[in-house]
Structure 1
Amino acid sequence: MDFQIQYITPDIKLSTYDDKLFKTETVFEFHMLVWFISGETKIIQADKTYLFKTGDIFLIPRNHLATIINYPKDGLPHKAVVMHLTTERLKQFYASVESGHKTICRESKIYSFQSHPLLKSCLASLIPYFEMEGTFPENIASLKITEAISILREIDKDIDTVLNDFEEPGKIDLAGFMEQNYMFNMPLEKFGYLTGRSLSTFNRDFRKIFQTTPQRWLTQKRLELAYYHLKEKHKRPSDVFLEVGFEDLSHFSYAFKKQYGLVPSALT
C-alpha cells in the first residue's frame, strides 16, 4: 500500500493513495472540506451512498458515521486536498460575525459543491505550499481557512446550521440508532459516544433492549444485509463485504458460511 499524507499545518493536508483501494469507517471529530485532484471516492451512510470524482468538492460534517472507500482512477492516484474546520476555529469565526438566529441541523448527509469555482480557487491555491520547504505561516493558514468558511456561507445560505453547531451528541434512542447504523464497523466506544452513553452504559442498555451482546447482534445484522445484497441485488461478495461492515473477504466468507451453510458466491 502506498498511502502518503503531507501536512502544511495540522488542519490542511494533501493525501495521496496509489493502491487498489483504501477503506475506512470513521466518525470525524471535525468537519472536513475535501477537493479531489484525481481518483474516486464512495461514501456510504446509513441511508445514502455518494460517489465523488475528480474535481468534486464536498463537506463531511463531524460526528456522522460513514464508510469511505477511496480508489485510484484512470491510472492516476487518489489525491485530495483536505481542510479540517475545527470546532475551535469555527467558534472564533462565528464570534466575529453576525449569523442571525441559530437553527441546528442534525441531518446526516454530505454537502456537495461539485466543482464550485470559488471553492476550487481557494483550495487549489494551497497546492504550491505543499512544495515549499520550511514551515507554512500560521497567519496565512488561518486566512485560507477563514476564506473557505466565508465561501461556504456565501454559496450555501443554510450552512450555518451545520458549522455553527458546537453541541456534543446527547442521549438518544439506542435501538433506532443501531438499527440504522449497524453496518459501520466502529469500536463500541464510538457507538456509545454517538448515542450519548459511556461504554458501560451502552453495553447495559444494549443487552436490555436486544437481549444479546453488541458483537453478536452486529454480526447477525451485517450477515442478514449481506444475504439481501447477494440474493436480491445480485452483487458480488467482493463488493458486499466492505459495505456491510466486514474488514476482509475471507472472514466474511467464513462467517457467512457458518450462518447460512453456503459460501457467499453460491447466491450470485
Structure 2
Amino acid sequence: MLSRYPIVVRGGDKDMLQSDSNAFARYKLANTAQQHTNFITEHTLLFVLQGHKRLHIDESTYTAEAGHLMLMKRGIYTMSEFIEEGLNYEALLLFFNDEFVKKFLHHYQLTTTQAAPAPSHLVIPSNELLDNFKSQYMSYFGKTMDNLEMILKLKLQEVLLLLLAGPQRKNILEFLQSITFGQPLDIDYIVRKHLFQPLTLEELAKLSGRSLASFKRDFQQRYQSAPKKWINEQRLAHAHMLLQHSDKQVSEVAMGCGFENIPHFIRIFKQEYGVTPNHARAKNAIV
C-alpha cells in the first residue's frame, strides 16, 4: 500500500498542524519498525527526535538519527525506521511547497539565474539552535490561537534561515534553488517509473512538475492516447501476463499492477479481455 504524506496517522490535533487548505507539520510516533513506500506530496523537512529514519534509494541506504534532520523533495521514497528495544521512533515533519520556496528565496534575495544540480534529499547534522527550534515548535501541537497559520509560516522561514546560517549553507541553498528552477521531467520517464504505483493523474502530474492540464496535453502528444486509458491498458496487460505465468492471487496481481480497488480491477479486466481474472487463469491452465 502506498502511503501519501502529509497525512494523519493516529488522528487528533496532537498529530497534525493544518489549516483548511494547508498541512504545515506532522508528529509521528511508531513503536514497531517496518519498511514502507510513501508518496511525499510536499517537500519535507524531517527532524528525527528518537530512533533512526532510513531512506532506501536504489542500492544505497541513507540514515538520519536523533540529532540529524533530513530534507526531501516531493516524490516517492522507500523508507524504514530503526527502533531500539524499549524505545519508540519519533519524528517532526514540516511541509512546504514550490510557491513557498520561491517567495522565500525572492524575499531574502537568494534567487539565481541558474540553479546547480541538487540531490532529492539531504541529511544534515543538527545544532543547538535547530534543537531549540524543534523543541519550541512541538509546543504548537494541540494549540488553538489566532494567527496560527501566519505564525507557522514564519516558523518555517525561521528554520530555513537557521539552516542557511550553518555550515551546510551551500548544499541547502542549491537544494532550495533547484526546486524553483526544476524543469518538467520527461513524461515517459515519470509514467514508466511509476506505472504500477496506485497514483492518480493529479499525482503523476505533480511528480512530473506539470499542472494536470499540461500533463494531459503532453501525455496525449507523447502517446496519442488519453492518460487514464493508456495507463489502464498497460497495467491490465501486465496483470494478464502475471495471471498466466504466476500463482499470485487476483488481489495480489491487482495491487501489484497499481489497482487498489479489486472489484474495479475485475470489472475493467473483463471489459478488456472478455473474461474475469480467475477465468483468464483457468483458461490458461486448460491450455
Q: Is the 8 A contact 1:33 1:82 kept in 2?
A: yes
3-state SS, counterpart of residue 155 of structure 2:
helix
Which of 1 and 2 has greater Rg? 2
The one-letter code sitting in structure 2 at the alignment partner of 1:45 is I
Q: Is the 8 A contact 1:46 1:181 kept in 2?
A: no
Name the counterpart of 1:198: 215
Match of 1:25 among 14, 22, 38: 38
Q: Is the 8 A contact 2:118 2:174 kept in 1?
A: no
CA apart distance, 1:121: 2.3
Q: In 2 relative to 1, CA 188–140 (structure 1 residues): closer, same or farther, beyond 3 Å?
A: closer
Q: Please give the root-mean-square deviation of Cα atoms over the aligned residues, in Å.
A: 4.4
Q: Is the 8 A contact 2:48 2:90 kept in 1?
A: yes
Match of 2:186 among 172, 181, 198: 172
User: Alpha-carbon deviations, 1:24-52, whole Å to 9, x = none?
Assistant: 321433x2111111233222334643233
Q: In 2 relative to 1, CA 97–192 (structure 1 residues): closer, same or farther, beyond 3 Å?
A: closer
Alpha-carbon distance between aligned partners in 1 of 2:169 and 2:238, rounded to the nearest angstrom: 37
Q: In 2 relative to 1, CA 217–50 (structure 1 residues): closer, same or farther, beyond 3 Å?
A: farther
CA apart distance, 1:60: 0.7
Q: 2:235 aligned with 1:215, yes or no?
A: yes
3-state SS, counterpart of residue 133 of structure 2:
helix
User: Alpha-carbon deviations, 1:200-228, whole Å to 9, x = none?
Assistant: 864884699x9x944268779xx9xxxxx
Name the counterpart of 1:37: 49
Match of 2:164 among 137, 153, 159: 153
Q: Is the 8 A contact 1:203 1:213 kept in 2?
A: no
Q: In 2 relative to 1, CA 200–98 (structure 1 residues): closer, same or farther, beyond 3 Å?
A: closer
CA apart distance, 1:3: 3.2
Q: Is the 8 A contact 1:20 1:71 kept in 2?
A: yes
Alpha-carbon distance between aligned partners in 2 of 1:105 and 1:219, rounded to the nearest angstrom: 41
Match of 1:6 among 15, 20, 26: 15
Alpha-carbon distance between aligned partners in 1 of 2:215 and 2:106, rounded to the nearest angstrom: 31
Alpha-carbon distance between aligned partners in 2 of 1:28 and 1:204, rounded to the nearest angstrom: 26
3-state SS, counterpart of residue 159 of structure 2:
helix
Alpha-carbon distance between aligned partners in 2 of 1:148 and 1:120, rounded to the nearest angstrom: 10
TM-score (norm 2): 0.59
The one-letter code sitting in structure 2 at the alignment partner of 1:215 is R
Alpha-carbon distance between aligned partners in 1 of 2:236 and 2:206, rounded to the nearest angstrom: 20
Counterparts of 1:138-149 in structure 2, within 5 Å, are 138=148, 139-149=150-160
3-state SS, counterpart of residue 125 of structure 2:
coil
Which structure's relative contact order is higher, taking Cα pairs within 8 Å and 6+ residues apart?
Answer: 1
The one-letter code sitting in structure 1 at the alignment partner of 2:174 is T
Match of 2:132 among 121, 128, 132: 121
CA apart distance, 1:184: 5.7
Q: In 2 relative to 1, CA 27–33 (structure 1 residues): closer, same or farther, beyond 3 Å?
A: closer
Q: Is the 8 A contact 1:21 1:70 kept in 2?
A: yes
Greater Cα offset, 162-171 or 178-187: 178-187
Alpha-carbon distance between aligned partners in 2 of 1:182 and 1:153, rounded to the nearest angstrom: 37
3-state SS, counterpart of residue 76 of structure 1:
coil
CA apart distance, 1:111: 0.7
The one-letter code sitting in structure 1 at the alignment partner of 2:145 is T
Q: Is the 8 A contact 2:46 2:91 kept in 1?
A: yes
Alpha-carbon distance between aligned partners in 1 of 2:184 and 2:109, rounded to the nearest angstrom: 27
Q: In 2 relative to 1, CA 39–137 (structure 1 residues): closer, same or farther, beyond 3 Å?
A: farther
Q: 2:105 aligned with 1:94, yes or no?
A: yes
Alpha-carbon distance between aligned partners in 2 of 1:18 and 1:191, rounded to the nearest angstrom: 32
Q: In 2 relative to 1, CA 207–52 (structure 1 residues): closer, same or farther, beyond 3 Å?
A: farther
The one-letter code sitting in structure 2 at the alignment partner of 1:129 is Y
User: Alpha-carbon deviations, 1:142-188, whole Å to 9, x = none?
Assistant: 332121111222232242333243356525162x5566666866446
TM-score (norm 1): 0.62
3-state SS, counterpart of residue 49 of structure 2:
strand
Q: Is the 8 A contact 1:43 1:50 kept in 2?
A: yes
Name the counterpart of 1:67: 78
Alpha-carbon distance between aligned partners in 1 of 2:80 and 2:27, rounded to the nearest angstrom: 17
